[in-house]
Amino acid sequence: MSATRFVPILVLLVVSGIKSLLECDEEVKLLCFEGELRQILVNLVSNAFDAMRLGGTLRIRISQTSNSGVRKVRIVSADTGCGMSPQERSHLFEPFFSTKGIGGTGLGLWITRDLVSQNHGTIDIRSSARIGRSGTVARLRFYPG
């Protein structure tokens, strides 16, 4: 799937005062189900959007690396939103846990983690709610199946 398929989503963020940056290495190849990858990215972008109601920056970086002969595709989503507390982070991947109150189902990251795993990947999320240094970084790594 081409990274350019996500440009319309990123353009919508600009209308909301969110600066979006998409960086993608040439010739990144990932064998996966396109719809599942799309759902993963939509969930991450949606969470970033909700965390940046007053504007901010969302950066998505897609790269292919090789470490000790093992090829992997990395996708990193980093936002400058409000971040999450350690308490919130401890429940991120639990079904029906939401930081969005009535506006969230609490299924986005639970589904995302499952889809990443089904496509031979891992997901790690770091977040800070510190004033002046808040934001969330999601790191996904996909390995050949």
Pairing of strands 121-128, 70-79: unpaired
* Cα Rg, the chain, nearest whole Å: 15
Q: What is the pTM of this model?
A: 0.85
* pLDDT tens track for 53-88: 889 999 999 999 888 888 899 999 999 999 999 999
Query: Domains plus CATH for the chain?
Result: 3-142 (3.30.565.10)
* pLDDT tens track for 95-124: 888 777 777 787 889 999 999 999 999 999
Q: Which residues contact 62 (CB under 8 A, 6 or more apart)?
A: 3, 22, 23, 24, 25, 28, 73, 74, 75
